[in-house]
Amino acid sequence: MTDADATRVAVYIDFDNIVISRYDHEHGRNAFSRDRSRQRESGALEPGPEMAERLDQAVVDVGAIIDFASSYGTIVLTRAYADWSAPVNARYQRQLVGRAVDLVQLFPAAAYAKNGADIRLAVDVVEDMFRLPDLTHVVIVAGDSDYVPLAQRCKRLGRYVVGVGVAGSTSKSLGAACDELVTYDALPGISAQPEEPEQEPAEDSQPSEAGSDAALGRRAATALLERALRLGHEKNDEEWLHASEVKTQMKRMDPSFSEKALGYRSFSDFLRSRNSVADLEERDQTRLVRLRPERAR
């Protein structure tokens, strides 16, 4: 049964917008347009080695965006809009599908033309707000001022609107239209990359035939914990967080997380094993946790 007081979040990503904005942020204003024009003039269907390297330098961490959105509540749908036949976007398909993102195919745009993502995205958002009356939060990942009327309409219909855009490419008017605007580079886990996880205790070892999979699972759990802590500190601006809330956030980001599957009797035992990432404090029946100060950005 759904909790009537639960917050429910929908995420809409103008994928072309965020990819191009990241590219221009890393390589200079209009860099993507110039490099793509050179590619087309050469007759190449895919980016050449130089542009491919520049794309790698401006990669978008979709997981960080979705994890941030989940800090507002349960994500009920996530859609990304783009021409997925374009190599620039196609390289993200596996990452997006892995996070259960619905890929909305747009018609390929003619040279220098818009792909119509703003129109399709806006239609879907308005339809979803009426189709899902319990939707409480709308997260729009884009920086285009074309989304100002959409943000205003969402607010008029009683939704809390969060905008996520790239610094330098996000319209000030969009920020004014949203309840909250966050830059991509300020998302937890983007500016400060996690360090290598600590060596696991001997008792947590697995049989040799499953060793590599188990090690990957433990490293993934450590990274998941660190990102959840960063999100919690960012949202609550508190030094200490309730352990139960941190676990809830981890489950939102990765429903498959289970401390028992990793060999721990309780979540507190799991936290104690990650003492290079987290500090645990137990006060009577209350368990508090924080990101270790030296790992905080």
DSSP 81-101: EE-TTSHHHHTTHHHHHHTT-
The DSSP secondary-structure symbol of 200 reads P
Helix locations, the chain, DSSP H: 15-27, 31-41, 49-57, 62-70, 87-90, 93-98, 117-131, 148-156, 172-177, 211-236, 243-253, 267-273
pLDDT tens, per residue, the chain with 297 residues: 345 468 999 999 999 999 999 999 999 999 999 998 888 888 888 888 999 999 999 999 999 999 999 999 999 999 999 999 999 999 999 999 999 999 999 987 654 445 578 899 999 999 999 999 999 999 999 988 999 999 999 999 999 999 999 988 888 899 889 999 988 988 887 854 433 333 344 334 443 434 555 678 888 999 999 999 999 998 887 889 999 999 999 998 887 788 988 889 999 999 999 999 999 998 878 899 999 998 876
Residue type at 77 in one-letter notation: L
Please name which of 287, 256, 145 lies closest in space to residue 278, comparing C-alpha atoms.
Answer: 287
Residues 189 and 206: beta-carbon distance below 8 Å: no
Distance CA 121, CA 141 (A): 11
Task: Give 206-233 pLDDT, tens digit per residue.
Answer: 434 345 556 788 889 999 999 999 999 9
Distance CA 214, CA 263 (A): 10
Retrieve residue 286's tokens.
């209350």
Retrieve residue 209's tokens.
């035939």
Three-state DSSP class for 204? helix
Distance CA 238, CA 233 (A): 6
Residues 110 and 131: beta-carbon distance below 8 Å: no
Can you give the pTM of this predicted structure?
0.75
Residues 6+ apart with CB under 8 A from 92: 15, 19, 60, 62
Q: Which domains are delineated in the chain?
A: 8-14+60-186 (3.40.50.1010), 202-295 (3.30.420.610)
Distance CA 20, CA 64 (A): 18
